[in-house]
Chain A
């Protein structure tokens, strides 16, 4: 039984074309990202399957999954919201934005709302300090200049 869908495998195969044939491991990070997009988080079984697909030792895949902090090693809420609180962002309201979300959602960092909708994470530099406050929704959607109004809007939008 395969956990990865045919589409996911197709995407991984496309990534594999980027690298020399004997360097399949190079696609590990993208394969894990693809797997996570499909399942929401990386279960042991899923990592094991990625390892098999790429001909890697499972523990080597686990090393990668635990090293990069955008991989979810346990289930998250439907929307994982990661707010950058690093210094440049903090100087322009990054921490305040995070505090506002904590208050609004009633959760702290690394917690999930009771309805399973939101998980809040503290992020490190996203390379968008000029747009502070910035946050990521489920790793891939970046939201910039997050004023109180925009945060309210975002939460409303995501709740739907």
Chain B
């Protein structure tokens, strides 16, 4: 520890601390622009110059190491003169356009200019003008305002892992830009908007729509990926205008993924469902809530009476709140059915009976950094979990060995120690190789089922290297991604991952698909031993379906077949915030509130329970889902639906929600029959869920749909051998067949794929017809279609 004095106040700081950190500790504010606690020190803005005893010149507090006995004055005349001098320099070329600047009111330069700037300028020369850049659909630029702090550049290099922005030129002509004409495509790009201390980089979707002082700031939690990023939702006259990160070091730190930040646009979509609707004689009519709910209660009762309760099934989205899923579960079970599932994309549920609890990350998010070696199995890591990927990225910089077993050699923008890239059908075999090699390295026996299954497999060099990495380290984690969870042999992968973790003495974890996957399982919104899973309800069609928050055509693994089942049902009741395909198959559309219009709770992948309140009134006649379910329960005269508040619902789940969830978390799985490498024919499909197609809200966010990621989603990425065999040219479409189904997509050569594979995404209208097909036949189409047009 180092003892020093800041502004006459004694303070003790860790060795290696800076004067800035010491000053923060005693509450002395030192003005700054380029300094940011999460970024490397640049010391370029010079705003934090302070007086240090015995130093011949003012020193930058951000970069000056605290030393024993140091005496620092942060606001002496000497320090202030230096700070004011810097402020004058910053302002001479900064435009006086605050009245039309989106940053106005939340601008560090504006704020500090009040304290450190002059009331008139001594600069009589011409001001600099810098041409704006098109950085894509999310970030708006006014580069004349840039003060060259390089926070955005450092963010790319250090956090996003990709240097998309740089500072070109030199001297007064330096400017921040992307490589000529390129957009900023990182899935974390929006953070540069927060980082920019001036109005040079602002939010494009938010541009000119409100002033910061007109906005109320309300706390919320992101409803998208399993991380549960903490949000500040900014609201003007009952409309969500913008979403910003709410700092939580344990979860999202001070960052947000672009999905968390910009998906709010979907809340204001024209597709919002604002009135209960009934289909009568093939025509939709708006009705009052009591009419709609009466109809629903009767319809469900009729089905139960005529066909038995088992004829009723519920498909719910894991992006819905804990309270909703609890009540839905209660409703379904109360009617006597056990057919409820939230794992709509999980094809393989044969091991459900062997599962000992609710699968989760296996540890705290913040503890990922302490692992020395990790194996990520079957994850489109950067896109599915942008901020978890960043945790690994930062840890990898400090020596964590990140090993990857996946179906595509995606650039994770981090140092990957070893990669094992195989076709989807070979994933289990590949993971088994790791287990086999690890057992040998550790001189430990494999469990019998694994030993039997792996007796004849050959360990590849890559598998050996991964096993060595896991064997050599003490703190090890095996993490199973969404792709593996959606895999037709998920059960095998699960059991093998457990075996690898056991042999390595490490922790098994699941990265977690949706905002409330853990919560859904915890409140039992999964079938259990007696009910049908989502796949079961597809292959054994029910007479009645409750579709809750989901769009099964896009949210289910086999959208096409699920749709077919829904079409044959006698009644389908769709709870949704949006009008969607349900208008074709449902009888009733019930407008429920999205996360911003209801109180609720999400349980994130690390098992943390995060409750939140609505931030705006429900749109139109939309109502919080839990209230609708409560009334429905009452109408159906089911027990246990007497609630006056959301707190009552929570209490109905458990008195201590966090303790309740914690008690359920368990990744253990019992004996599973191994099925290592099924024979396949044709081109294997890599069926990913594109990040901006993953849930109903993000699908309706226009700006995200204009990103490079979204555009690429609707194309077929073909392994080089597949592409070359078809003799395709850039942008040409391919006909993709699976059985009788066929779709056409623009093709592109994707060198990251193993031979004999094609990336053809799930969750898109364009690929719906293919269902969950795992193998494809490809044909060249005679006519070229431009990729840009197809994706627009």
Residues of A bordering B, CB below 8 Å: 44, 47-48, 57-63, 66-67
Contact A59 B165 (CB under 8 A): yes
Question: Which residue of the partner chain B has the closest CB to A66?
Answer: B168
- Find chain B residues with CB under 8 A from A67 CB: 168-170
Contact B179 A62 (CB under 8 A): yes
Question: Which residue of the partner chain B has the closest CB to A56?
Answer: B163
Contact B179 A48 (CB under 8 A): yes
Contact A57 B167 (CB under 8 A): no
Complex A-B: 15 CB contacts under 8 Å: A44-B181, A47-B179, A57-B163, A57-B166, A57-B179, A59-B164, A59-B165, A59-B168, A59-B182, A60-B166, A62-B168, A63-B166, A66-B168, A66-B169, A67-B170
**Cβ < 8 Å to A, chain B residues 115-171:** 162-170
The answer to the question of B613 belonging to the interface, with a C-beta cut-off of 8 Å to chain A, is: no
The answer to the question of B180 belonging to the interface, with a C-beta cut-off of 8 Å to chain A, is: yes
The answer to the question of B177 belonging to the interface, with a C-beta cut-off of 8 Å to chain A, is: yes
- Find chain A residues with CB under 8 A from B18 CB: none
The answer to the question of B178 belonging to the interface, with a C-beta cut-off of 8 Å to chain A, is: yes
Question: Which residue of the partner chain A has the closest CB to B164?
Answer: A59
A2 CA to B638 CA in the complex, in Å? 72
A16 CA to B180 CA in the complex, in Å? 26
- Find chain A residues with CB under 8 A from B164 CB: 57, 59
A63 CA to B165 CA in the complex, in Å? 10
- Find chain B residues with CB under 8 A from A48 CB: 179
A57 CA to B177 CA in the complex, in Å? 13
Q: Within the complex, what minimum Cβ distance (angstroms) separates B515 from chain A?
A: 33
Question: Which residue of the partner chain A has the closest CB to B157?
Answer: A57
A44 CA to B182 CA in the complex, in Å? 11
Residues of B bordering A, CB below 8 Å: 162-170, 177-182
A47 CA to B179 CA in the complex, in Å? 10
Q: Which of B162, B165, B166, B169 has the most CB of A within 10 A?
A: B166
Contact A44 B180 (CB under 8 A): yes
Instruction: Classify the secondary structure of A's interface with B.
Output: helix
Q: Within the complex, what minimum Cβ distance (angstroms) separates A24 from chain B?
A: 15
- Find chain B residues with CB under 8 A from A47 CB: 179
Q: Within the complex, what minimum Cβ distance (angstroms) separates B171 from chain A?
A: 10
Contact A59 B170 (CB under 8 A): no
A48 CA to B181 CA in the complex, in Å? 12
Question: Which residue of the partner chain B has the closest CB to A61?
Answer: B179
Contact B169 A59 (CB under 8 A): no
Question: Which residue of the partner chain B has the closest CB to A45?
Answer: B180
A57 CA to B163 CA in the complex, in Å? 6
- 10 closest A-B pairs (Cβ-Cβ)? A57-B163, A59-B166, A58-B179, A59-B179, A66-B168, A63-B166, A44-B180, A66-B169, A67-B170, A62-B179
Contact A62 B180 (CB under 8 A): yes
Q: A44-B180, A44-B181, A59-B177 are in contact. List 17 more A-B contacts (CB 8 A).
A: A57-B163, A57-B166, A58-B179, A58-B182, A59-B163, A59-B164, A59-B165, A59-B168, A59-B178, A60-B166, A62-B177, A62-B179, A62-B180, A63-B166, A66-B169, A66-B170, A67-B169
Q: Within the complex, what minimum Cβ distance (angstroms) separates A8 from chain B?
A: 21
- Find chain A residues with CB under 8 A from B167 CB: 63
Given A44-B180, A62-B179, A62-B180: A57 and B162 within 8 A (CB)?
A: yes
A66 CA to B180 CA in the complex, in Å? 12
Q: Within the complex, what minimum Cβ distance (angstroms) separates A6 from chain B?
A: 23
- Find chain A residues with CB under 8 A from B178 CB: 59
Question: Which residue of the partner chain B has the closest CB to A43?
Answer: B180
- Find chain B residues with CB under 8 A from A62 CB: 166, 168, 177, 179-180
A57 CA to B179 CA in the complex, in Å? 9
A60 CA to B165 CA in the complex, in Å? 8
Contact B168 A63 (CB under 8 A): yes
Q: Within the complex, what minimum Cβ distance (angstroms) separates B353 from chain A?
A: 49
- Find chain B residues with CB under 8 A from A60 CB: 163, 166
A44 CA to B162 CA in the complex, in Å? 19
- Find chain A residues with CB under 8 A from B182 CB: 58-59
- Find chain A residues with CB under 8 A from B177 CB: 59, 62
A63 CA to B170 CA in the complex, in Å? 9
- Find chain B residues with CB under 8 A from A63 CB: 166-168
A98 CA to B237 CA in the complex, in Å? 66
Q: Within the complex, what minimum Cβ distance (angstroms) separates B150 from chain A?
A: 11
